[in-house]
Amino acid sequence: MYSKITGTGGYLPAKVLTNFDLEKIVDTSHDWILSRSGIMQRHIADASEAASDLALHASRRALEAAGISAQDIDLIIVATTTPDQIFPSTACILQDKLGNKSAVAFDVQAVCSGFIYALNTADLFIRSGQARNALVVGTEVLSRILDWTDRTTCVLFGDGAGAVVLQRSDTPGILSAKLHADGSQRGMLAAKGSIRNGSIQGNPFISMDGQGVFKFAVKVLSEVVEEVLMENKMTHADIDWLVPHQANLRIMEATAKKLNLSLDKVVITVAKHGNTSAASIPLALDTAVRDGRIKAGQHVLCEAVGGGFTWGAILIKW
Ligand code: UT7
């Protein structure tokens, strides 16, 4: 028994914040942001929109593409670092907004690797026979946990959601996945604040050792891609599309170079989306499916690294 992605969907909030807009907020420049990260603009959620609202739009589009209804879904996994509330989970809120009453629903917290963790989990649910039709969503309103006076972080992130429908199949879809974590590196990228007795303790905004993250990311991403390829007795030449977490163009370029992979085979959306954490891979998948780049039968390799640290890769036969 296998699982296969049968529909994708994405949603970006209407408000666009360009690098030129950011020049008016912090001491930065369009050229600095573009040359260091490849980002030109990002979308920012309206005050009325929560992560579950972005997820709802993306999910409806994925369900429509798969040709099934919300009632058919028996598993909902939401990857997010910016949940609507402390609890219940954003997945339960999404289930209610979709009008579904029967799906198992829970969140996965693995920051930027969240979608890879969630997709791997959904695949295991389906292959074990515990689910038939899964909705796997990455959704983020990172703008809410950015310090808009800190130019080293606020220029890099954006809001958005991406979703896939994963269904039981007789033919292979998800071929294999590798996940990793190293909690000893958790200080390098974090929002360290916590809520105690009704007030926030510590810094609730994203803080990051940019250069540390950069070096760590390039090292582990190429390693985990090699690991997945080796397990499937495949080489780089067998990859039709690399769909990386869209953190930074230079990380994607460095990883592609290490893997000896032409940038023509890498799906890149960071210029328009910024870093949308758990939403970036499903948004990139949806972009490349809808513009006709990703086609049935092709091998697609997704990889991500994020706070925790967590990292992983997943190989898909589309
Ligand atoms: O999902 C994972 C998320 N995180 C990442 O992907 C981040 C990975 N790291 C990076 O992409 C890069 O390290 C950054 C884009 C964050 C920074 O680029 P960098 O080339 O490592 O720059 P830097 O931190 O070494 O800073 C160089 C200079 C500094 O000024 P001085 O000390 O040389 O005078 C910074 O203060 O750039 C300055 N700077 C800025 N200047 C204009 C830092 N942020 C900005 C800014 N605008 N927004």
Q: What would the pLDDT profile of 253-273 be if each residue is shown by its tens digit?
A: 999 998 889 999 999 999 999
The alpha carbon of 229 and the centre of ligand 1 are apart by a number of angstroms equal to 32
Say if residues 241 and 267 touch (Cβ distance below 8 Å).
yes
Q: What three-state secondary structure class fits 237?
A: helix
On the question of a common fold for 2-170 and 175-317, the answer reads: yes
Rg of the chain over Cα atoms, rounded to whole angstroms, equals 18
In Å, how far from its chain's centre is CA 259? Answer: 21
Q: What would the pLDDT profile of 9-21 be if each residue is shown by its tens digit?
A: 999 999 999 999 9
- Which residue lies with its CA nearest to atom 41 of ligand 1? 28
Domain boundaries, the chain: 2-170, 175-317
- Which residue lies with its CA nearest to atom 10 of ligand 1? 210
CATH number of 2-170: 3.40.47.10
pLDDT above 90 coverage of the chain, percent:
98
Q: Does 100 participate in catalysis according to the annotation?
A: no
* pLDDT for res 258: 86
Concatenated DSSP letters for 67-136? T--GGG--EEEEE-SS-SSSSS-HHHHHHHHHT--S-EEEEE--GGGHHHHHHHHHHHHHHTTS-SEEEE
Region 145-163 average pLDDT: 98
Q: Which residues of 127-156 are buried (b: 16+ CB within 10 A; e: fewer)?
A: eeeebebbbbbbbbbbbebbbeeebebbbb
Q: Are strands 174-181 and 310-317 parallel, antiparallel or unpaired?
A: antiparallel
Please give the CATH architecture assigned to the domain spanning 175-317: 3-Layer(aba) Sandwich (3.40)
* pLDDT for res 259: 86
Q: What would the pLDDT profile of 68-114 be if each residue is shown by its tens digit?
A: 999 999 999 999 999 999 999 999 999 999 999 999 999 999 999 99
Tell me the best of 20, 149, 214 to mutate to test the pocket of ligand 1, counting ligand atoms within 8 Å of each CB and taking the most: 214
The residues near 38 (Cβ < 8 Å, ≥ 6 apart) are 248, 249, 250, 252, 268, 270, 271
* pLDDT band, very low/low/confident/very high, at 137 (cuts 50, 70, 90): very high
* pLDDT band, very low/low/confident/very high, at 208 (cuts 50, 70, 90): very high
Tell me the best of 33, 211, 220, 273 to mutate to test the pocket of ligand 1, counting ligand atoms within 8 Å of each CB and taking the most: 211
DSSP state of 156: T
With CA atoms as reference, report the closest residue to 145 among 194, 90, 205, 188.
Answer: 205
With CA atoms as reference, report the closest residue to 59 among 72, 48, 46.
Answer: 72
Q: Does 275 participate in catalysis according to the annotation?
A: yes
Q: Write down the mean pLDDT value for the chain.
A: 97
